[in-house]
Structure formats: C-alpha cells, structure tokens
Amino acid sequence: MGRADPKLVRLRFDWPAAAEVQATQRRTRTRTGHAPVTTTTRFTQRLERREGALRISTSGTTWEGDAPYPGPPAAVEGVLRAAERVVQVVSPEGEFRGLEGVEALRPALARVLAGSVPPEQVERALGFAESSMQAQAQEMWNLAVGFWIGADLELGERYGMRTEAEVPLAHAEAEFEQEFSVRRRVPCSARDREERCVEVTLRSAPDPAALPALARGVVAQLAGGEAPVAAEALRELVVENELLLVTEPARLLPHRVVWTRTVRATAAAGEGAGGEPRLLEQVDRHEADYRYDAPRKKPPRKPKRAQPRSASR
C-alpha cells in the first residue's frame, strides 16, 4: 500500500456518542453612528446519542457585557433559562435536523416583547423569533460542521463554488461566490502542542451583478436615522463574509469558529457624487471557542459505615 498523501485533508463527521463541552461565545456588532455592542456568553453543552440522533443541549448559561436580549434583567434571565430547554438535533451522518423545544421560549420572549411591540403584533414577532433561531442554528452548524462533511481538500489549495445565500440588511437572497481552503495544520488550542487540527477559511461575496438591485435597500438600512444616501451618491457597496474554523479533520469537532459579516457603503457626503467620501459600515462578528471533556459521571456512593452496637447493660 502506498503512503497517504500528507497534503490531502479528509474531513469526516465522527462525533463522540457522549461528551461535555465548555463553550464561550462572543458576539460583537459595530455600526456607523452607534456604540459597539459586545455580549459574551458561557455555557456547558452536553452531547448524547439518543433516539437515533445526536442531541445537543445546554446548561449553566452566564453572560457579561451588553445584555443578549432587550428588557429588564429578570426577563433576560428568563429567556436564557428557557433557551436551555431547546435541544439541537443532528442526524448520525451530521445533517442538521432542527431544534426541539423552541416553543418553551414563547412565554419568556413574550415578556421581553411586552411594552415594545403592539399586542396585535406579538404573535407575529414570536413566530419570526422562532424561525430566526432555527435559521441561525442551522447556519452555524453548517459553517462549523455540515458544509465540510466528506470533503477531501489539498492543504493550501483554494477551491471555489457558487451558492444561494441571504444578503445582510437586504432581506433577500442572491448568488454568492465562495472561496475556501484548508490553510494549515495547527494545535487545537493554546494548551496543545501537537497539530491535531486544521485551520479552514472561507470567504464569500454576492455576485457583483446582483448588488445594484439590492443597493438602495441595503444603504437605507445602513444609514438608519442618519441622513439618507442618494442613489447617485453611492460610489461602492461591499458585502463580504469570512469564516475561520479550527477543527479536528478526522471528526469535524470544532475548537474555534469565527464568522464575520461585513456590509460597507462608500458614498459622497454632499449632493451628487462630488462630495467628500462618506463611509457607512456594519460588522457582525461571532466567535466561539469549545473545550471538550469526557461526560461527567456521578461519584460512587460511599458505603455506609456500620454503627457499633451499644453494649447491653
């Protein structure tokens, strides 16, 4: 038998039947004219194979920085505890099946929405929140795991493909051009020395031909409450997504995921296109770090010591 090609990286899905994961997630949004928003959450994930699927649950969620949801602290805490009743379900082959228990979030989310959404629109807002949660979970799973299952990629080689995806702020889909690569072999974390993981990158941007039709809506969203941008003043619109993934190739267990979505518009500040350049930008960055542990076992019960019998008198 010939030697295996050291440059060929085989990405396969082979998650353990049971594990505990210590996770840290940081979400940051920077936007022109607004203060940066950063939320850090920490929680424990538990993986277990049950009922013919991999089930991923969370517990012990804490947060710091900006609140992960609007509303008073008690309402925010209620959403976090309700979210721990939601379970992500994945097929044995690594296909995202969905979230179970999302309905548990409804009462907590309704309390968050109270006072900020008209009563007749609460049901619609709750439905939108549920569908957004499902879509976001599926997107992050596919970025970290699903998209890569079964791929054989040459180390350092660049690959390209086209796919349909949503354009941020446009509320519409367009054809995106993707470029991805397994850049190098790396330690899975700062604590490791052995290069058991690989660093994978992906960059995507919509087809330039699709942007003119979406530009007006995107720029209006970027401008927000600031002075609107006239169509003739727009000089450039950039929409780009970037992924950095550190994962174990033989199992596709992610150790670090960084997903950045950028929308940037350059326009003339004055009337027409002859003014000084004006920059409008929104950057959403999602970072996640995972540390895998064996599932905790309950300590064995200590045998009770026999009580000495009292001497008979």
Domains, the chain = 8-293 (2.30.230)
The 10s digit of each residue's pLDDT in 136-191 is 999 999 999 999 999 999 999 999 999 988 888 877 888 999 999 999 999 999 88
What percentage of the chain carries pLDDT values higher than 70? Answer: 87
The 10s digit of each residue's pLDDT in 65-96 is 999 988 888 889 999 999 999 999 999 999 99
Q: What is d(CA 90, CA 96) in angstroms, rounded to the nearest whole number?
A: 5
Mean pLDDT (the chain, rounded): 87
CA-closest candidate to residue 233, choices 281, 274, 280: 274
Looking at residue 10, what is its pLDDT?
Answer: 97
CA-closest candidate to residue 41, choices 21, 60, 20, 19: 60
Looking at residues 286-310, what average pLDDT do you find?
65
Pairing of strands 8-10, 253-268: unpaired
pLDDT band at 275 (very low <50, low <70, confident <90, very high): low
Looking at residue 295, what is its pLDDT?
Answer: 54
Task: Report whether pLDDT(53) > 60.
Answer: yes
The 3-state secondary structure of 58-121 reads EEEEEEEECCCCCCCHHHHHHHHHHHCCCEEEECCCCCEEEEECHHHHHHHHHHHHCCCCCHHH
Looking at residue 302, what is its pLDDT?
Answer: 54
The 10s digit of each residue's pLDDT in 5-35 is 789 999 999 999 999 999 999 999 999 888 9
Looking at residue 267, what is its pLDDT?
Answer: 79
Looking at residue 81, what is its pLDDT?
Answer: 95
The 10s digit of each residue's pLDDT in 100-146 is 999 999 999 988 888 778 888 888 889 988 999 999 999 999 999 99
Looking at residue 311, what is its pLDDT?
Answer: 41
- pTM comes to 0.86
* Lowest-pLDDT range of 43-57, 117-131, 239-253, 267-281: 267-281
Cα angle 166, 239, 42 (rounded to 5 degrees) comes to 70
